[in-house]
Structure 1
Amino acid sequence: MPSAQPVEYAVAVERYLAAAELGSASRRIYRIALDTWAWALADRPAPGGPDRRRARPPVLPLALLDHPDAAARLRTAADHRASTTDPRTFNRELSTLRAALTWWRAQGWITADPAAGLRPQPLPDAAGRAPLDPDRLRDLFARRAPLREQTLWHLLHESGAAVETVLALDVDDLDLVHRRTLPSAPPLHWRAGTARLLPLLVAGRTAGPLFLTDRRAPAATPAADRCPHTGHARLSYRRAAELFTAHQPGLTLRQLRT
């Protein structure tokens, strides 16, 4: 049953953070990220440096997220933020906003998703490593790895997409017949290897994250990151990287991109 709608954005932020059952350090980081987006919605530049953490964000009505120009305001802010901060920070802040929006919509407090058009920034390979050569790829794809890992590795290689983009995909983003994502999702295409594996991976599922963890999601996991069929959570980048390194020590997932 939806709870009473808070009037202010800041109150909605606090309720979301309380429901997420985060540790104190994570709660502080999430609050800073959500406050940053508040400045964007108010059409005001967020303070920079140490002042960003101390500044009180503008008071906003939560209903502003349903305003027709909310998406445009966030897009402008995202473009500016992406040009002034590193990709990992930007992607973390965007992920935080999306998780909060999903939870607020689940409560019935808002109906729109003004962040729907925002995409994560590609992350550079810090080690500057070259893509895997054909022999290494053949060896990798010939290994007896679980279906989830093989599908992820093939999709990363054949689509050339960033790891974060692929892990953010949902089952209903896929056009399996035409080997591509639907127009509402980031534009990805794949080839025969992925096309052979994807139907096996999504068998019996019609919604929820494409790549899932092995265990059921914690209670605080946002609905968008939980499979409605199995209750398992979306696979994280950290875990995907660990699984890849276990099969290919010294290599990184980003080396699968063509």
Structure 2
Amino acid sequence: MHWQSGTAQLLPRLIARRTRGPLFLTDRKAPAGTPTLDVCPETGRARLSYRRAEEIFEENTRLPTNPLASPGDIEDLDGWTLHRLRHSALTHDAEDGTSTPMLLARSRHASVRSLERYARPGVDSIARHVAEGDPAARRRR
């Protein structure tokens, strides 16, 4: 795994001196029969499932996603999804000129066609790209 510096700085707090076991844990003990690799040896709690992580993320992004809503409306709001977060990161990378092989590796997609949904540059990135390739602008540098 590769982490950006902000995430890397937060990891020691999340790890809390643990040296093995899953990183993201459920709130309760793992049920009997849970594979050993999916149980924290320190707390006995189970690895958090992707589905539950998605639910928690969606619940906790409802107000930031809807800044004009009141907290009383939170049950009727939709938050972000982990897939949308991933989509956003890949879109920003594509807009910043990240190469296709790097986008494929980062997204873990096997086909360039699967990247089409992410590589939809916005108006600003297209304008920046055109300006960078403008021969008149290059001569002024």
TM-score by length of 2: 0.47
TM-score by length of 1: 0.27
Task: Report 1 or 2 for greater relative contact order, CA contacts < 8 Å, sequence distance ≥ 6.
Answer: 1
State the structure with more CA Rg.
Answer: 2
